């Protein structure tokens, strides 16, 4: 992975199925690109089927290139924590396993501190956050059929029942960060 040029930044989050996470962050103004993939494990160049086998240690994640002059990392954290369940270990809805764990892979100390503070604040509200906050090491891009999944398959049952409510929530709660035009 290379960090964005021209003052852009990168955020890497795993909050369940990367089809959902990609669709959610793709709605936000200031997000330049969202790419689904795998990170947080030990296997090199894993495939989807290897990650599904639970033998790689990787989670399904998204790499988000964003413009911090338009949207902050803290706002991305807010969207992340509001669009998945950070209190249930290795599960998001019907999706279970370590590949669906809640994970923030920070790319610098500022991101690490912001994520840790965000979690402390949620814990202080009585939530028991299980989200891992770990140093980013390597991102492996997902296969082509996983990219833009919601956009290409929005009529499917999974997209309608699982992804669409998350996208609707983002559109409602974060409308100030919606793309212009």
Encode pLDDT of 46-72 as tens digits: 999 999 999 999 999 999 999 999 999
* Residue in 17, 20, 52, 159 annotated catalytic: 17
Q: Decide: residue 80, CB within 10 A, 0-12 exposed, 13-18 middle, 19+ buried.
A: buried
Domains of the chain: 9-162 (3.30.1060.10)
DSSP code at position 95: E
- Would the pLDDT of 1 be above 60? no
Q: DSSP for 138-157?
A: --EEPPGGGTTHHHHHTTSH
pTM > 0.95 = no
Based on the residue annotation, tell me whether 159 is a catalytic residue of this protein.
no
């Amino acid at each position: 992975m290379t960090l964005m040029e021209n003052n852009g930044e990168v955020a890497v989050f795993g909050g369940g199925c990367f089809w959902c996470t990609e669709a959610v962050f793709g709605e936000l103004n200031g997000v330049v690109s969202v790419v689904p993939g795998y990170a947080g494990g030990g296997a090199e160049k894993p495939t989807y089927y290897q990650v599904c086998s639970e033998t790689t240690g990787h989670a399904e994640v998204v790499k988000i290139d964003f413009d911090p002059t338009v949207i902050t990392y803290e706002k991305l954290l807010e969207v992340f924590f509001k669009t998945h369940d950070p209190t249930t270990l290795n599960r998001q809805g019907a999706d279970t396993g370590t590949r669906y764990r809640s994970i923030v892979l920070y790319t610098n100390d500022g991101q690490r501190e912001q994520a840790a503070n965000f979690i402390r604040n949620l814990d202080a509200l009585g939530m028991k956050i299980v989200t891992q906050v770990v140093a980013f090491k390597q991102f492996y891009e997902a296969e082509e059929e996983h990219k833009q999944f919601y956009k290409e398959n929005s009529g499917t049952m999974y997209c309608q029942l699982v992804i669409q409510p998350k996208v609707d929530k983002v559109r409602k709660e974060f409308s100030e960060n919606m793309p212009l035009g």
